[in-house]
Amino acid sequence: MTRKPMVGGNWKMNLDHAACQELAADVDRGRALLEGPCDIVFFPPHPYLRSVASHRGGCMLGAQDVSGHEAGAHTGDVSASMLVDCGCQMALVGHSERRHGHGETSREVAAKAAAALNAGLRVLLCVGETSEERAEGKTAEIVCGQFVESLTGIDFDALERIDLAYEPVWAIGTGQTASPEQAQEVHELLRAEVGSRYDARSAARMRILYGGSVTPSNAAELMACSDIDGALVGGASLEAGPFLEIVRAAART
Ligand code: PGA
């Protein structure tokens, strides 16, 4: 089964209103030169979602986080329906900067995923091990555990609106990318886990992106791996030129 690749730009807590609009418009213009199909999704900071919504063109808009609650007394939270209202099609859940920086558990991630799916959004679920967990040989246990727990209670029917991202914590923002072999190995086992939890068709359809220090210089060899279906890009997504080079690498595969 061929899976349409997807490349996400996770802008984290960077840029401002004007820079977000300019970046989105520049990337959208670059789509015209792609050699194949590829979904592009922008994850701007929450205050700039609407700014990007009007400049995204044919690219998708996603939120970096979403509340697990529907509405009410949750100071600082942003609900899934608010994100839909701002023009979002997708929400990122389980990013390691949320899991480790804010102590989010997979149970909380599951509530966020459910809230996003219930509001009609797609979900990009991130999983990944720390360097200590890898050194202890626990990579498979951690990433499969996060995958299963973060989707607890999610309906089988919603699975087609879920994409995964394998993001080894030790590779995020460090310049230390996983080798194509390391990444492919984990993507393959995640796909097998989707197959055993759900079914073979779902496993074959599931997009699994790689994230962690993806740059124009390493994108092509990562994207060439059979189970890598795109990239979630942080640092290299903040300028249109390098980001589009990564998109082009994904679109060629
Ligand atoms: P990075 O971030 O590309 O800067 O390593 C990736 C991510 O956090 O999604």
The CATH number covering residue 180 comes to: 3.20.20.70
Segment 172-185 shows an average pLDDT of 96
Residue 153 belongs to a domain: yes
Residue-wise pLDDT for 144-158, tens only, equals 999 999 999 999 999
Residue 74 belongs to a domain: yes
Per-residue pLDDT band at 196 (split at 50, 70, 90): very high
How far, in Å, from the CA of 167 to the mean position of ligand 1? 8
Taking CA atoms only, the protein residue closest to ligand 1 atom 6 is: 234
Total domain count, the chain: 1
176 lines ligand 1 (CB under 6 A): no
The pLDDT mean for the chain works out to: 97
Per-residue pLDDT band at 1 (split at 50, 70, 90): low
What is the reported pLDDT for 32? 86
What is the reported pLDDT for 253? 83
8 lines ligand 1 (CB under 6 A): no
Residue-wise pLDDT for 89-113, tens only, equals 999 999 999 999 999 999 999 999 9
Residue 1 belongs to a domain: no
Residue 145 belongs to a domain: yes
Taking CA atoms only, the protein residue closest to ligand 1 atom 2 is: 234
What amino acid positions are annotated as catalytic residues?
95, 167
Residue-wise pLDDT for 19-47, tens only, equals 999 999 999 999 988 989 999 999 999 99
Among residues 192, 186, 105, 190, the alpha carbon closest in space to that of 152 is found at: 105
Residue 16 sits in which domain range? Answer: 6-251
Burial class of residue 50 in the structure, from the number of CB atoms within 10 Å of its CB (0-12 exposed, 13-18 middle, 19+ buried) = middle
167 lines ligand 1 (CB under 6 A): yes
237 lines ligand 1 (CB under 6 A): no
Residue 44 belongs to a domain: yes
The whole-angstrom separation of Cα 138 and Cα 172 is 18
